Amino acid sequence: MRSFFLFNPTSEMAVANDTVSYTPPSFLRKFEEDVAPLMGFAGRDSDFLISEKDKDGSFRNFWKRNNVVLPEYVSFQNFTASSGNVVFNPVPWGWNKSVIRELSSLKEYFSPSFGKLPVAVWKEHYKDFYSRETSVRFANEVKRRISDDSFMSVPYVPRIFDSVSDIEMWESKNSPPYVFKTPWSSSGRGLYPVTDAGFVKRSRIWLKSRMKQQGKIIIEPWLNKLQDISFQFYFQPNGCVKFLGLNYFEAGSVGEFKKEFIGMPEELKKKQESFGLPEGWETDAAGLLKQVLFDSRFGENYCGPAGIDGIIFSDDNGKVRVHPCIEINFRFNMGYVNLKLKDILHPESKGEWTIKQFKPGLWRSFVTDNISNHPVVMKDGKILKGFLPLVPWGREQLYGAWAEVGV
């Protein structure tokens, strides 16, 4: 079955908005527009992706020369004018009322099987399902199932508050560091770290504003993080849960995406070896998460990729532990894209990729210089090393994404 991809990384903000006509701020719309082709790496050459980038075809031609054929880029308008009798499943980055309404203009092309999926029709309880409260309940259940002698640990389960006065009462008995989280937000946009006593007072304006907007605030203790990790799963239409793989990545101080690691670069490998975690820890942690995901019956509300962010951290006694479930994302995520990128690269290839904002025109020159200075090298028909632009490099592009890989 062909897929029709739509990149809407502000999906959680649309869920919080809870209307059928959410429009993100202009700078986020620009991000969506520029970075949309990144989602194409999750698709096949027979699929479609909503994007009006790469009008001269240079981006897709670059990848075609390196044995990777990306989906066809279309707009809503030219798709309906030229699609003929094609049938597909709509696949947005994330589900919400607004995107379901937007995609409904194409419902005559939806496959009959799509209407049977839990994501096909928005239900009122989905707003809570897609909130961070689901992550809190999930972490509670995972904590209950972890044995005392395990390498895994959920030392503190986040607390949910519905008033600022209750938060201030909690703060009078607890000291920083901790982090405030809103129930709904896009990556890194709903977090406020309180790292010392000085931040407590400075956080009041943010805290009161977000409490007024969303009605609740989640408080999570700040752990001594050593490494960000994410477990990638896929909820199948029959309700089964499949484990896809583990990613290592790096997030910023407020949870924003910084970079994903491809394979195990030497520096990262040495770091992991120093942790002294038991052999097979990844499989054991993934197995526990998979079982709790299935037992929680999340498949009744969702199908598609889901990422569970965790961390490797040092506990109060200096022992290295794995917190396997900081947060669940029931949507596409950068970790899922990372697994798809690994699939098109040679098994020996390793490196990292990132997304950054550039001044007008600089992304274009950055790409052309690096393509020339770090050409792609192939092995066995797959990319082994080189500079890889992950989005087009048109003159109007402000946001760029790229990978640098080697052996």
Q: For position 305, what pLDDT does the model report?
A: 98
Q: For position 105, what pLDDT does the model report?
A: 87
Q: For position 255, what pLDDT does the model report?
A: 78
Q: For position 81, what pLDDT does the model report?
A: 55
Which residues does 39 contact at the CB level (< 8 Å), separation at least 6? 5, 7, 49, 93, 332, 337
Neighbour tally for 64: CB within 10 Å: 13
> Rounded to whole angstroms, what are the CA distances from 334 to 51, 356, 392?
18, 14, 18
In the chain, which residues have pLDDT < 70? 80-85, 187-188
**Residue 184: helix, strand or coil by DSSP?**
coil
Q: Domains in the chain and their CATH numbers? A: 2-126+337-406 (no CATH), 131-155+223-329 (3.30.470), 159-221 (3.30.1490.20)
Q: Which residues pair with 3 in a beta bridge?
A: 89
Tokens of 313: 């951290």
Residues in the chain, overall count: 407
Rounded to two decimals, what is the model's pTM? 0.95
Q: For position 374, what pLDDT does the model report?
A: 98
Neighbour tally for 55: CB within 10 Å: 10
Q: How do beta strands 382-389 and 377-379 pair?
A: antiparallel
End-to-end CA distance of the chain: 35
Mind giving me the DSSP string for 274-315? Answer: HH-PPTTHHHHHHHHHHHHHHHTTGGGT--EEEEEEEEEEE-
Q: For position 85, what pLDDT does the model report?
A: 67
Round to whole Å and give the CA distance between 35 and 356: 10
Contact predicate 347/109, CB 8 Å? no
Q: Could you give the dihedral angle defined by the CA atoms of residues 87, 91, 95 and 101, in that order, rounded to the nearest 10 degrees?
A: -40
Round to whole Å and give the CA distance between 114 and 95: 14
